[in-house]
Amino acid sequence: MAAEIVNPPSDTDAAQDEFFDPAFALHRGGKMAVQSTVPVRDADDLSLAYTPGVAKVCSAIAEQPELVHDYTWKSQVVAVVTDGSAVLGLGDIGPEASLPVMEGKAILFKQFGGVDAVPIALDCREVDEIVETVVRLAPSFGGVNLEDISAPRCFEIERKLQERLDMPVFHDDQHGTAVVTLAALRNAAKLTGRGLSELRAVISGAGAAGAAIAKILLSAGIGDVALSDRKGIVSADREDLNPAKRELAGLTNKAGLTGSLESAMAGADVFIGVSGGTVPEQAVASMAPGAFVFAMANPTPEIHPDVAHRYAAVVATGRSDYPNQINNVLAFPGIFAGALQVRASRITEGMKLAAATALADVVADELAADKVIPSPFDERVAPAVTAAVAAAARAEGVARR
């Protein structure tokens, strides 16, 4: 969700600005705080919560390190890590400016998944610096959620961290978006009597989200998918591709499409937008009958819903004021809750596919063109995703309880 950049209130006019702008009023002082789960009412409570009682627990953990999961919050807390290089629709605004978003992410973890989370904004940009910093912080956490880190560095950071850490590492901008997109697409196909294998998709955007969506759609069995970046379709004959896009070129685009996004949309069954910009109406009109348009850029979708509805059977956006919102909050709280519940060592492709299926199934009996995905406030979502992810972790042998 992109935010409008406005001038912050100064010390002298803060009260007046807050009166007119509720965003500043809500954020003043931050959006979260630490709260004790045990009473500290008297000397006896203090002696148990801190010294000398705490020494017994520390000694036990020193002798049996696995006890840290039972006697601290480690197994239920996630580090939300960013460098502020790709924040929402704001881009590279730096670590301090990213903190309101990271706080917001943390409260969504708690509100929608019952998972505690701590915002960590890092003042470094080199891949290895970020990796080493997170590795050193890892003993305090049960998982790592990477957030708003620019591509292609985000791919390497996630890979290197998962190689080093025996805990879930999840870049939500990639995988959360991909899980929710797949869930909505499953239901759109079901609603129109088709299978994923019958569909050809075109993705506008070959960054973190686009790459992850393409990969999960391929894992789920889509017929074909092609990605487009600023220079056109990502294809094997292009010589300007970085290693991440070169890998994508080898995995996608079975049809061998080249040229522009608009040309690839001709006859396509699915458009997925994760890049911004504007797609001409004639390109939408050239899609196959009964097409699906998931235009997810915020605040302005690549294709306005009113235009998309002229040609598409199902329309989704990233906005909360239209039906079928593709919102990551439908995925990441339950995914982490399930992974932490069984102390999973990682989040596998199978766990992500299970999350997408569970999410789609929440509204399987209520399908309509304006309801192929649940509302973020549907209380069935988090329990369903949590249970599915935990079961998948056990089935894939990455669970430790």
Q: What is d(CA 313, CA 325) in angstroms, rounded to the nearest whole number?
A: 16
| List 50, 56, 231, 254, catalytic entry | 50
Environment class of residue 55 by beta-carbon count within 10 Å: exposed (0-12), middle (13-18) or buried (19+)? exposed
Judge whether 71 counts as a catalytic residue. Answer: no
The answer on pLDDT for 6 being more than 90 is no
| List 105, 160, 245, 352, catalytic entry | 105
Judge whether 56 counts as a catalytic residue. Answer: no
pLDDT confidence of residue 88: 80
Secondary element (H or E) of residue 196: none
Annotated binding-site ranges: 147-148, 173, 298, 327
The answer on pLDDT for 261 being more than 70 is yes
The answer on pLDDT for 231 being more than 70 is yes
Segment 174-186 shows an average pLDDT of: 97
Neighbouring-strand partners of residue 226: 202
pLDDT single digits (tens) 275-299: 988 999 999 999 999 999 999 998 8
Q: What is d(CA 316, CA 43) in angstroms, rounded to the nearest whole number?
A: 57
Annotated binding-site ranges for a divalent metal cation: 147-148, 173
The answer on pLDDT for 328 being more than 50 is yes
Segment 142-149 shows an average pLDDT of: 97
pLDDT confidence of residue 20: 73
Annotated binding-site ranges for (S)-malate: 298, 327
User: Residue 80, SS3?
Assistant: strand
Q: What is d(CA 56, CA 4) in angstroms, rounded to the nearest whole number?
A: 51
**Residue 180, C-beta contacts closer than 8 angstroms, at least 6 positions apart:** 326, 327, 328, 330, 331, 356, 359, 373
Show the domains of the chain with their CATH numbers. 73-167 (3.40.50.10380), 173-401 (3.40.50.720)
Residue 62 contacts residue 71 (beta carbons within 8 Å) = no
pTM for this predicted structure: 0.92
Share above pLDDT 90 across residues of the chain, in percent, rounded to a whole number:
90
pLDDT confidence of residue 5: 41
